[in-house]
Chain A
Amino acid sequence: MDTRTRVVGRRIVVATVVVLQLAFVARGYTSDHKEFAYQMFNESTDWRADIERVTRDGEHIPIDQDWSGYRWDQLVDTRGLLEPASRSHADAGIDNQLAFLDAALDYVARHTPNDTETRYLQATVTYWRNAHGPKVVVLRSADREEAR
């Protein structure tokens, strides 16, 4: 015979999981990473990006050249960001890809302490969403303390 506590506990666990899961599914329509929303193969989007370092004196230098002992492909090697200049498929959709690229720019800005020249990083992204487009969007990292 189940105790009252067990019966109520079951209700709470089941209701919590069901509500949370449905909330995640609904959230998937507005969130970048769509955690637990199971929107698989949601787009056929291609993208590419020209990423540059913008220095204190306003110069734009592509990140395909090493700088201050750093290389982009050593700093960022995941989620399709290894070779941003090559046109590639956005596995989990363009919003997801742009969010990762934006975060990667901030990561690189924060993890290159020897670089005292770069004020911020900038990515000019071109994408073709479901064969439409192209569209262009510009992303920018936070300003770097080291270059001030």
Chain B
Amino acid sequence: MTWNRIDELLGRRVSLRALALLRIAAGFVTVLHLRPFLDAARDGRIYRDSFYEPYASWYPELPRSLYIALLWLGAAAAIAMAAGLMTRVSTALTFGIVTYNLLLSTTHMHNNRAYLVVVLGILALAPCGRECSVDAWLRARRGQPPLDPSAPGWPLWLLRFEACVVYGASGFSKLVDRDWFGGTVTWDRAMHARDRMATHTPLPDWAISAITNRTFHTFAGKVIVLTELFIAIGLWSRVTRYAAVWLAVVFHVSIEVTSSVQVFSYLGIAALVIWAVPSTRDRVLTVDVQRAAGHRLVAVVRALDWLARFRIEPGPPGSPTRVVDRDGSVREGRRALVFAYSRLPVTAFFALPVLAVTRSNRKATTALPA
């Protein structure tokens, strides 16, 4: 019985639109990741020209020219993957080359690169090139019917598990470390950065004094740890998911601003799309397109609705903007507008707090007429 339920979950057909979006972002992130290796190769240096440490003596190392060619092939494959050109092949190739390069030396290993390998590996397993891709465009151009954009959901569930592990493992390791949870770690880093904050940032003295205050870090340490754990757990519940996604964006932006983390922030933010409900065009946005504002709204939603949340329908002249959610609840006017923006990846970060403050995310009182 349990196996049946597990098999049903793994095999449940869902939209892979989010993975298609992530594929595009991961392609660009991979190019960013490979860039330092390519820059070094252009200057005539590769990993084994100075200290490196192979993971295993039997791990194959290529001749110099072949290794450099492989890096360029990896970058080309990543671009093809982003474009969705020969998607299965280009994604598998990107994954293979990035993984090979990562495992060449212990000195190549970083958390962000490990996460990139995991994301690429799962994308390689999923048919994520059936939409938002050159492959789909070519197919349409040849007059062939589009491939079913839905597929068994197991790669998506697996990626959700991995994304959750990134935040959860990081948060848990800090939770069990007395120095971290007690604030010593962040306080010590702040103390080291105090002179730099004074000379290289516009922070006023009182702010620097607060940031380097030991008591402040007794709380800050706990807030950081609990934030990571909240993201890891909160992403799983529909009640807390939007808050967790919003916090995750703040978390990644903060890290990007204060630390050097290679591609972690870009990848972390891009991967948040996998938490969107994997169904498409199941909300109806009705807009009076006769009005200029309505016309603009349609243009914005069409351009930014990358996750294909909305089906847009023209409303009667003079009618308010209206959104019918997937559960049948209805929002009108300003509430509908804020709700629509809260479901677009680019505007969600700004619209979600407005939605929370105005409480318009509650189920609408207006029911749809039968």
Minimum C-beta distance from B149 to chain A (A):
18
Minimum C-beta distance from B232 to chain A (A):
10
Nearest first, the 3 closest Cβ-Cβ pairs linking A and B are A44-B188, A130-B179, A38-B169
A2 with B11: CB separation less than 8 A: yes
Task: List chain B residues, Cβ under 8 A from A11.
Answer: 3, 6-7, 10
Task: List chain A residues, Cβ under 8 A from B347.
Answer: none
Q: How large is the interface on A (under 10, 10 to 19, 20 to 34, 35 or more residues)?
A: 35 or more
- Alpha-carbon separation in the docked complex, A81 to B107 (Å): 11
Residue in A7, A14, A25, A33 whose CB lies within 8 Å of B169: A25
A138 contacts the other chain (CB 8 A):
no
Query: Which residues in chain A, 80-107, are within 8 Å of chain B measured between CB atoms?
Result: 81, 89, 92, 99-100, 103-104, 107
Query: Mind listing 10 A-B residue pairs with CB under 8 Å?
Result: A14-B10, A14-B154, A25-B165, A37-B173, A38-B111, A38-B115, A39-B169, A44-B188, A100-B53, A103-B51
- Alpha-carbon separation in the docked complex, A100 to B189 (Å): 22
B177 with A21: CB separation less than 8 A: no
- Alpha-carbon separation in the docked complex, A13 to B186 (Å): 39
Given A7-B7, A35-B109, A77-B51, the answer on whether A44 and B185 have CB atoms closer than 8 Å is: yes
B50 with A75: CB separation less than 8 A: yes
B154 with A10: CB separation less than 8 A: yes
B101 contacts the other chain (CB 8 A):
no
Task: List chain B residues, Cβ under 8 A from A38.
Answer: 111, 114-115, 165-166, 169-170, 173
B11 with A7: CB separation less than 8 A: yes
A76 with B50: CB separation less than 8 A: yes
Query: Which residues in chain A, 1-40, are within 8 Å of chain B measured between CB atoms?
Result: 2, 6-7, 10-11, 13-14, 17-18, 21-22, 25, 28-29, 33, 35-40
A103 with B53: CB separation less than 8 A: yes
Instruction: Produce 1/0 per residue, B168-180, CB < 8 A to A.
Output: 0110011001011
B256 contacts the other chain (CB 8 A):
no
- Alpha-carbon separation in the docked complex, A40 to B166 (Å): 9
Task: List chain A residues, Cβ under 8 A from B177.
Answer: 42
Interface residues of A (CB under 8 A from B): 2, 6-7, 10-11, 13-14, 17-18, 21-22, 25, 28-29, 33, 35-44, 46, 74-79, 81, 89, 92, 99-100, 103-104, 107-108, 130-131
Residue in B53, B157, B165, B192 whose CB lies within 8 Å of A46: B192
B184 with A74: CB separation less than 8 A: no
Nearest residue in B to A21 (C-beta to C-beta)?
B165
